[in-house]
């Protein structure tokens, strides 16, 4: 009965009996104008004013010192890990409850992910679980952290799940105390604040994503946030093939990446960013309605954690059991209302099945019960 009630609510909210996607982009501003401007200018690739403007405006919005645009969020995270000194054969702690891109970026460097449990309130890496893992399985020698098998733990990556911030200040302290570099995968949390500070700015390096299903989109794109001027300059250098400036010569002074965001995509991003405050208000209003609608049902709506102002990128509900989850997924999708389970836990995937793990009880519990429900911005609704 409560599934039919949820379907009816979603259809009424989006005023549609047809297919309702999980998260569709919204284009109601200057998108066409700015994109056509890039076509008229012929600067559609990695050089153009919109790339620079987008970087400046994202840095201003997030209150980050520097922002470097990339082709996607995975590229931004890969660059962050690279700049943090992660090397082949080293270990990087992260959460099993995450999108595969988090672990792919770690693997690109020849490093290996280590999976630690999440917090049930934030859905992100748990500082208590992280500390327990370090105390039980690691040791610090000469200001370096090593697993008991002898491999060095260079970094930890926290992902702000569905736009809800992890307890990143507590994670940062655990990492600092144990000489581990903390990196934020803030791909889903643009516009999210924790204790009044934007996610992605608690660590020295972090990554954003502007994929087509994110709060704002550039079609495909990402952004590296950085707090150090020299590191930011190096980031821009290595994401643009490490080419030394010259009128006509091609000289590249180090191994690097071709990760620069095209001007065409950045133009779309500049227009989207102008509407971001409205988008977030719309999403927060929808979240409030979901919370009220589901208050007297067996479904628990995932609300923003304490001390947080979440962007509610993807709204999520917690079902009483895996069986309830499977029924809800089948009934909603059969009705044309797109819902989906959370990602397969990373340690269950074939390429990561041999990874080191801590206790993952919370991750397993959540993976069996979480469902994402439609979360598209709808500006025609009264905010």
Residues 64-82 have pLDDT tens digits of: 999 999 999 999 999 999 9
Q: For residue 379, what pLDDT band results from cuts at 50, 70 and 90?
A: confident
Residue 194 belongs to domain spanning: 31-273
Q: For residue 229, what pLDDT band results from cuts at 50, 70 and 90?
A: very high
Evaluated on CA atoms 186, 191, 197, 201, the torsion sign reads positive
Residues 286-341 have pLDDT tens digits of: 999 999 999 999 999 999 999 999 999 999 999 999 999 999 999 999 999 999 99
Residues 7-54 have pLDDT tens digits of: 999 999 999 989 999 999 999 999 999 999 999 999 888 788 999 999
**Count of the separate structural domains present in the chain:** 2
Confidence (pLDDT) at 381: 55
Distance of CA 241 to the CA centre of its chain: 25
Domain end among 227, 251, 273: 273
Confidence (pLDDT) at 311: 98
CA distance 35 to 31: 6
Domain end among 223, 243, 273: 273
Residue 78 is assigned to a structural domain of this protein: yes
Residue 14 is assigned to a structural domain of this protein: yes
**Phi and psi of 68, rounded to 5°?**
-125, 120
Q: Could you tell me the CA-to-CA distances from 124 to 45, 184, 255 in Å, in that order?
A: 36, 11, 33
Residue 352 is assigned to a structural domain of this protein: no
108 lies in the same domain as 120:
yes
189 lies in the same domain as 178:
yes
- What single string gives the DSSP state of each residue in 80-145? HHHHTT--TT-EEEEESSS-HHHHHHHHHTT-EEEEEPBPTTTSSB-HHHHHHHHHHHEEEETTEE
Look up the CATH number of the domain holding residue 20: 3.90.1150.10
98 lies in the same domain as 228:
yes
Distance of CA 354 to the CA centre of its chain: 25
Which whole number is the average pLDDT over 242-261?
A: 93
Distance of CA 193 to the CA centre of its chain: 14
CA distance 166 to 124: 5
CA distance 3 to 332: 7
Confidence (pLDDT) at 44: 87
DSSP-derived 3-state class of residue 280: helix
Averaged confidence pLDDT in the chain: 96
Give me 332's structure tokens: 């909603």
Q: Could you tell me the CA-to-CA distances from 266 to 70, 186, 271, 356 in Å, in that order?
A: 10, 19, 9, 39
CA distance 319 to 2: 11
Residues 328-353 have pLDDT tens digits of: 999 999 999 999 999 999 999 999 99
Confidence (pLDDT) at 339: 98
Examine the pLDDT at 383 and tell me if it is beyond 60: no
Closest CA to 358 of 108, 97, 15, 182: 97
Domain end among 273, 301, 331: 273
Confidence (pLDDT) at 382: 53
Examine the pLDDT at 362 and tell me if it is beyond 90: yes
**Phi and psi of 360, rounded to 5°?**
-115, 30
57 lies in the same domain as 122:
yes
159 lies in the same domain as 283:
no
Residue 321 is assigned to a structural domain of this protein: yes
Q: For residue 114, what pLDDT band results from cuts at 50, 70 and 90?
A: very high
Give me 349's structure tokens: 């995937």
Examine the pLDDT at 106 and tell me if it is beyond 90: yes
CA distance 271 to 383: 21
Give the whole-number percent of the chain exceeding pLDDT 70. Answer: 99
List all residues 6 or more positions away from 62 whose beta carbon is below 8 Å from its beta carbon.
190, 198, 200, 201, 225
Q: For residue 2, what pLDDT band results from cuts at 50, 70 and 90?
A: confident
Confidence (pLDDT) at 68: 98
Give me 244's structure tokens: 């030394």
**Phi and psi of 289, rounded to 5°?**
-65, -45
95 lies in the same domain as 228:
yes
């Amino acid at each position: 009965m409560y599934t039919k009630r949820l379907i009816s609510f979603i259809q009424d909210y989006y005023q549609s009996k047809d297919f309702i996607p999980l998260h569709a982009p919204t284009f109601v501003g200057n998108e066409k104008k700015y994109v056509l401007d890039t076509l008229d200018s012929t600067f559609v690739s990695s050089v153009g004013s919109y790339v620079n403007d987008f970087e400046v405006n994202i840095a201003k919005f997030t209150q980050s010192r520097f922002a470097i645009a990339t082709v996607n969020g995975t590229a931004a995270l890969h660059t962050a890990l690279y700049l943090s000194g992660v090397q082949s054969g080293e270990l990087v702690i992260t959460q099993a409850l995450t999108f595969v891109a988090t672990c792919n970026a770690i693997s690109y460097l020849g490093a290996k992910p280590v999976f630690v449990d999440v917090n049930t309130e934030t859905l992100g890496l748990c500082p208590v679980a992280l500390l327990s893992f370090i105390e039980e399985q690691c040791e610090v020698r000469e200001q370096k952290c090593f697993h008991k098998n002898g491999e060095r733990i260079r970094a930890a990556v926290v992902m702000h799940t569905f736009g809800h911030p992890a307890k990143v200040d507590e994670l940062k302290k655990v990492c600092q105390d144990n000489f581990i570099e903390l990196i934020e995968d803030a791909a889903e949390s643009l516009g999210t604040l924790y204790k009044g500070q934007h996610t992605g700015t608690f660590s020295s390096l972090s990554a954003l994503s502007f994929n087509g299903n994110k709060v704002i989109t550039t079609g495909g794109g990402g952004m590296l946030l950085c707090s150090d001027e020299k590191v930011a300059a190096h980031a821009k250098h290595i994401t643009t093939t490490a080419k030394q400036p010259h009128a006509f010569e091609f000289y590249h002074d180090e191994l690097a990446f071709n990760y620069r965001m095209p001007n065409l995509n950045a133009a779309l991003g500049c227009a989207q960013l102008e509407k971001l405050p409205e988008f977030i208000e719309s999403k927060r209003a929808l979240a409030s309605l979901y919370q009220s609608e589901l208050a007297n049902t067996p479904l628990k709506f995932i609300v923003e954690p304490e001390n947080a102002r979440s962007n509610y990128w993807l709204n999520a509900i917690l079902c009483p059991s895996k069986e309830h989850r499977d029924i809800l997924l089948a009934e909603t999708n059969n009705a044309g209302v797109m819902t989906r389970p959370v990602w397969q836990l990373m340690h269950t995937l074939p390429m990561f099945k041999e990874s080191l793990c801590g206790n993952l009880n919370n991750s397993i519990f959540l993976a069996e019960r979480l469902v994402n429900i439609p979360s598209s911005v709808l500006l025609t609704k009264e905010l």
